[in-house]
Chain A
Amino acid sequence: MSWLIDFWHMIWPHLGRGLLVTLKLSGGALLIGFLLGLPTALIRVYGSPWAKRLATLYVDVFRGTPLLVQLFFIYYGLADPHLTTLAESIGLPPSLLVLPPMTAAYAALGLNSGAYQAEYFRGAIQAVSGGQMMAARALGMSRWQAIRHIVLPQALRIAIPPWSNEAAYLVKYTSVVYIIAVPDLFGEARRIMSVHYNQMIMLPFVGFIYLLMVLFITWVMGKVEAALRIPGLEMEEQERF
């Protein structure tokens, strides 16, 4: 038994630190993604044609290209000497473009998640019947009041299941950031494996930690969904069977 305890003492300081980084990245990117995604969705549904086009461009670019390419572009691409000299020549500090690994990771994951979240929110907003908006406007609410008090409270509820999916995906996708030397859970595991050649233990173990995180998110979001359920609506759904 003691070798197990020794093993644990050997890996846990590293893995624990890596887990913390993964949790911070996941939480941060989800938050950034939410703050980007919700306005983007609102613009795509209610915005002026011009703003709509911009929002669509953002969503298409970040959903249509590989996350890895985005990450490399933000970390290596922006740091390109041509760009930094250009930045300097117009009076910007070049450090603005040479991002630390962690910042680049937040940016790439956040922008990417924002594009996906925007699509989920857009779908949810469009699923709220147009009659709700019409009734709100007929009462004299402004468009923004109607969005805030009538459309969004319903749309955000509808968006919970796809949003929890996105959260689960994101936690796993954070594992790509080891490639720009961010010491996340998977990065730390790789370091341990490269020293001890114990991948047959480490990989299942690390995979299991990701699994636990995903199950936890699913469980929490299930609770949130149940707590926010609108009485009378779930009954109609059940009766359909």
Chain B
Amino acid sequence: MRFIQIKNCYKVYKNGVTAIADLTLNVDKGEFVFVIGASGCGKSTLIKMLYREEKPTKGEVLIGGISVGKLRNRTVYKLRRKLGIVFQDFKLLPKLTVYENVAFALECIGMKSKDIRPKVLKALEHVGLKDKTRSFPSELSGGEQQRVCIARAIVNEPKLLICDEPTGNLDPKTSKEIMTVLDTINKDLGTTIVMATHDSEIVNRMKKRVIVLDNGVLVEDHMKGSFKISESV
């Protein structure tokens, strides 16, 4: 059984926009997959269907054999506990310190604070922020803030890490650092990573699997792929 199976999937929004059309895609455990394409081609929509923010209009999205679209609203949280999600806008809580922001994810699922501490410290170590635990988000650079988000996403040791343009707000040098962090997580922890981006430089350097969307349609799927810079990107 493949880890992620997307079968003939369509997403049509209420306003009639078809964001994903007849998408079929499989991802194995431990893979690192880029989803690329021009702005508005449906990357975020695909990501949202993975964490069940949106349901497929037609077809199926299976993660670990579970049909995500069929989950009831009140059981979605069970899926979310097995995922890590990272966004372009960091979504950190400004009044909490780095440590508290990461611990928040575990508090939310009702873990004991005794168990929370070692997990948070380990996650912060993975992203190289162990010496900034007491800082507040406003005292960090963009790259550091994004690393806090990654730490929060992996703190519960998810099998799948989903990133929607995690480097979208960062300069090239910082983006590179973030990619190194993600690559290490993928290699050391075996976490499957699906990352949407339109940063061709990153994609070309990383030499990972690349899936190209065009107007919601899968047009290319390369192992160790690269991505030509087209005008629309």
Chains A and B come from one and the same complex: no
| Interface of A toward B, CB cutoff 8 Å | none
